[in-house]
Chains A and B, each alone.
Chain A
Amino acid sequence: MDLATFLIQLLNAVQYGLLLFLIAGGLTLIFGIMGIINLAHGSFYMVGAYLAWSLSMHLGSLWLALPAGIVLSVLLGIALEWLLIRRLYRLGHLQQVLLTYGLILIVEELRSIIWGDEVHGVPAPDLLSASIPLTDMLSYPVYRLWISAVCIVLAALLYVLIQRTRLGMTIRAGATNREMVQSLGIDIDLLYRFVFALGVALAAFAGMIAAPVSSVFPGMGNQVLIVCFVVVVIGGIGSVKGAMIGALLIGLVDTFGKVVELKVGSFRLLPELAGMSVYLLMAVVLLWRPAGLFGKRA
C-alpha cells in the first residue's frame, strides 16, 4: 500500500468514524440520560437519508434540504417522545427493546409505502463536488472532507453544550438524580424531550449528509444500528467521549479490514473476514473491560 492509498483510506476511516459518532453519540446520550435503550435509532438515520433524497428533489438542492430535514426530524423526535417513549420510563429494558423493535418495523413499512423500495442516489452539492488530486491516478472528493469537518464541528458543539452550558449541567444532573432535579423546579419531562429530539436529529442529520456517499436504500438503518451498538458497547454505555473513541476505532478497523490483505498459510483472513472484524474488536474490549473503555463499572 503506497502513501497516497494509505492517506485516502485513513481519511475514509476517519470520515466513517465521525459519521458513526453522530448516530452513536445520540444513542449513548439517550441511554445515559434517559435510561432508554433505543433499537429504532438506526431508523432515524434511514429517515434522514430518505428526507435528503426527496427534499433535495423537491427543493432543488441539498443546501435547502438540510435545514428542512433538520426541522422535520426534530419534530419527529418530539412527536415520538410525546406519543411513545415517555411511557417507557417506568417500564423495564425488556419493554423498551420490544417497543423500539416494533417501531423499526413501523418506520420501515411507512418508508416502503411513502418512498418505495428502490435504491436512490443523491448528488453532492456543486460547491463540494470537486476532487483534490493526490497523484496522477488518485484523488480525494471534497465532499467527504466536508462531512468530516461538519461532524467535528457538531461534536465540539455537543461537548460545549453538555459540559459548558447551564442546560447541559441540568441534563447531567437529571441523569444522576431525576427526582432531585425535579424537586428543584426544573421541568425534567421537557428536558428529556429535548434530549430525545436532539438524538433523533443527530442521527437523521448523519443520514442526510451521508446520502451522497452511501446512496439511499431500504434497511440502511439496521446495518448502521448494529455497528453503533458495537461503538456504544466499546466506548461504555452513556459516555459521549467513549462513543467518539469507539466510533473512530470502528472506522479504522472496518475501513482497513477491507483493504489490507492478511494471510495465514494459504487462507486469506482479510479482507474475507472484514465483516467480522468490528465484532471481534468488541469481544476483545469486553473481555478486557466488561463495561467498555469509559463506562462506569456496573
Chain B
Amino acid sequence: MSRPRNLAVVALVILVALFLLPFVAEKFTVQFATRILIMAIFAMSLNLLIGQAGLVSLGHAAFFGIAGYCLALSSPQYQAANFWTSLPLAMVAAGALALVIGALVLRTGGIYFIMATLAFAQMLFFLLHDTGIAGGSDGMYIYVRPDAGVFGWHPFDLEKFGDFYFVVLALFVIVFGFIAVLRASLFGRVLAGIRVNEQRMRSLGFATFRYKLACFVIAGMLAGTAGYLAAVQFGVVNPDMLGWHLSGAVLMMVILGGMGTLAGPVVGAAVMLLLELGLQSMPEAGTLHLGKHWQLPMGIAIVLVALYLPNGIARLLRWGSADD
C-alpha cells in the first residue's frame, strides 16, 4: 500500500519543483527544461505503442514532424497563427496520417512492423526533402510564434520563454494524466492483453486490429502535440524532424527509462538530453575535440544499456510494471 503513496509524493514534489523552476532558474535552464518536457511527451506517446500494445515503431518521428510542418504551413507568412486552432489542426493532421499509415503497417507484425514503420517515415522524409512543397531540405521558418488570443483576450504570450514553459508544462501534465487514465481503462487493458497474447484476445471476441489502430492514432496525435511544441520552440521545421535518427533517439529514451512504465519515458527523455548536453561540453584532449565526437560515448552508453539495463531505469528502481 505504501509504495503507490510514496510514488504519489515523489510525483507531487517533482511537479511543484517544475512549477517553481522559472521563478528561480535563468533563461537557458528554463528553455532546456522545456525541451525535456516536449521530448517527454513524445517519448510517452511512443511508450503507449511499445509498452502498452507491444508495437515497436521505428518511424514515430513521422507524426512528430508532420505536426510541426502543419504549423509552418498553416501560419500566414510573417504573421502569427492562432494557438487554439493551429494546435488541434496539427494534432488532427498527425492523427489522420497515423490512421492511414497504421491501417497499412498493422497488417504486418513483429520485425516487419519495425521495418515498415521505418520505411513509411522515410517515404515522408523524402517527400518533404526532395520536393518544393515545404521548402525542401532547408525546411521552413516560423517567423512569429502562434498567438494565444481568444476574442481579444490573451491568457499568455508564447514569445515569452516563461509563458511557453508553463504552456508546455500544462500540456505535459494533461498528457501524463491522460495516459495514466488510458492505461487503467478497459481500452488500456485490452491493449495490454493484445501485447501478451493477441490470439487469445481475438478468441475472446475483441476486434484487435481496431484496438491497435486506435492506439496507433492516439500515439500519433500525442507525438504530433510534441512536434507542434518543438516547432514553436525552435521556430523552424526541416525534414530531419521526421528522420530516423529522431525515431531511434526517442526509442532509446523509452527503453532507457523503462518501457511500459508511466514515468519511464519521462526519466529516459531527461537522462538522454542531459547526457547529450554533458557529452557535448566535453573538453579537448590533445588534438581530439571530445565534445565534437559526443556520439561516440553516447553510442557506447546505448550499447551498455541494451546489454546490462534491458528493462530501463524505472524498472531498476522498481517503479511499477506494465502488468500491474
Bound form: Cα–Cα A91–B302 in Å: 15
- Chain A 216-246, CB within 8 Å of chain B: the 1/0 string? 0000001000100110110001000000000
- Chain A 9-50, CB within 8 Å of chain B: the 1/0 string? 000000000000000000000010000010100000000000
Residues of B within 8 A of A91 (CB): 306-307, 310
A274 sits at the interface (CB 8 A): yes
- CB <8 Å contact, A282 and B303: no
A81 sits at the interface (CB 8 A): no
B138 sits at the interface (CB 8 A): no
- Among A31, A98, A112, the residue within 8 A (CB) of B252 is A98
B268 CB, nearest partner CB in chain A, Å: 12
Count of chain B residues with a beta carbon within 8 Å of a chain A beta carbon: 44
Interface size grouping (class) on chain A = 35 or more
Residues of B within 8 A of A134 (CB): none
B83 CB, nearest partner CB in chain A, Å: 32
Interface stretch (choices B71-79, B115-123, B180-188): B115-123
Bound form: Cα–Cα A37–B127 in Å: 27
- Chain B 273-311, CB within 8 Å of chain A: the 1/0 string? 000000000000000100001011011111101110010
Residue of B nearest to A113 (CB): B293
- CB <8 Å contact, B299 and A276: no
- CB <8 Å contact, B295 and A105: yes
Which residues in window 237-282 of A have CB below 8 A to B? 237, 272-276, 279-280, 282
Bound form: Cα–Cα A234–B259 in Å: 30
Interface stretch (choices B101-109, B141-149, B219-227): B101-109
- CB <8 Å contact, B116 and A233: yes
Bound form: Cα–Cα A31–B255 in Å: 22
- CB <8 Å contact, B112 and A101: no
- CB <8 Å contact, A37 and B123: no
A298 sits at the interface (CB 8 A): yes
- CB <8 Å contact, A101 and B108: no
Bound form: Cα–Cα A216–B302 in Å: 27
- CB <8 Å contact, B248 and A101: yes
- CB <8 Å contact, A273 and B307: no
A231 CB, nearest partner CB in chain B, Å: 10
- Chain A 85-104, CB within 8 Å of chain B: the 1/0 string? 00110011111111101111
- Among A95, A101, A230, A273, the residue within 8 A (CB) of B130 is A273
B131 CB, nearest partner CB in chain A, Å: 6
Bound form: Cα–Cα A88–B58 in Å: 19
- CB <8 Å contact, A287 and B104: yes
Bound form: Cα–Cα A99–B251 in Å: 12
Residues of A within 8 A of B244 (CB): 222, 226
Residues of B within 8 A of A102 (CB): 298-303, 305-306
Q: Which residues of A contact B (CB under 8 A)?
A: 31, 37, 39, 84, 87-88, 91-99, 101-106, 108-110, 112-113, 222, 226, 229-230, 232-233, 237, 272-276, 279-280, 282-283, 286-287, 290-292, 298
Please name 5 pairs of A and B residues whose Cβ atoms are closer than 8 Å in the assembled complex, sorted by A.
A101-B251, A102-B303, A226-B118, A275-B126, A275-B127
3 cross-chain pairs, A with B, having the tightest CB-CB distances, nearest first: A102-B302, A105-B299, A275-B126
